[in-house]
Amino acid sequence: MAIENWQHDFNIGAVVRNANAFLAAEVHIVGNRRWNRRGAMVTDTYQHIRHHDSVEQLADWASDRARPVLGIDLLPGSTSILDAELPRECVFLFGQEGPGLSAAARSLVEQVLHIPQFGSTRSINAGVASGIAMVEWVRRHASP
């Protein structure tokens, strides 16, 4: 799990909490090191968290470990996460609340996936999206 943090995103705590709930190996925070830990509900004290100054650094880290970085954002041309191949070893990258994945992130991810939505809202927040993405990954890869 990875999330961009350029504007002190309040969703990071929820992403950390979801990562812990679904046993993600690490949470990667790209950008600012400061974030609101309240939403993590103390899981940040035992969840592995790694910081990267840029999406390029995250991409290098993932490439060194042969893990594709998959962007999650509702963008034109994106593929439904329900239909996409989700490798067992991968990194889901979520954008900032509001602007979504940065241009730099969109240029570096191997694929952009979206969570199908049917209402009038343009998007769901990154905390919710991270939980949905992890459930889809667990549905396919976790042992019963």
> Which one-letter DSSP state was computed for residue 40?
G
Cα–Cα distances in angstroms (integers) from residue 105 to residues 52, 53, 59, 121, 138, in the given order: 13, 13, 9, 23, 24
Q: Which domains does the chain have, with CATH numbers?
A: 2-141 (3.40.1280.10)
- Tokens 């191949």 sit at which residue? 85
pLDDT tens column, 6-18:
776 678 888 998 9
Q: What angle do CA 60, 28, 84 make, to 5 degrees?
A: 80
> Which one-letter DSSP state was computed for residue 111?
E
pLDDT tens column, 65-89:
999 999 999 999 999 999 999 999 9
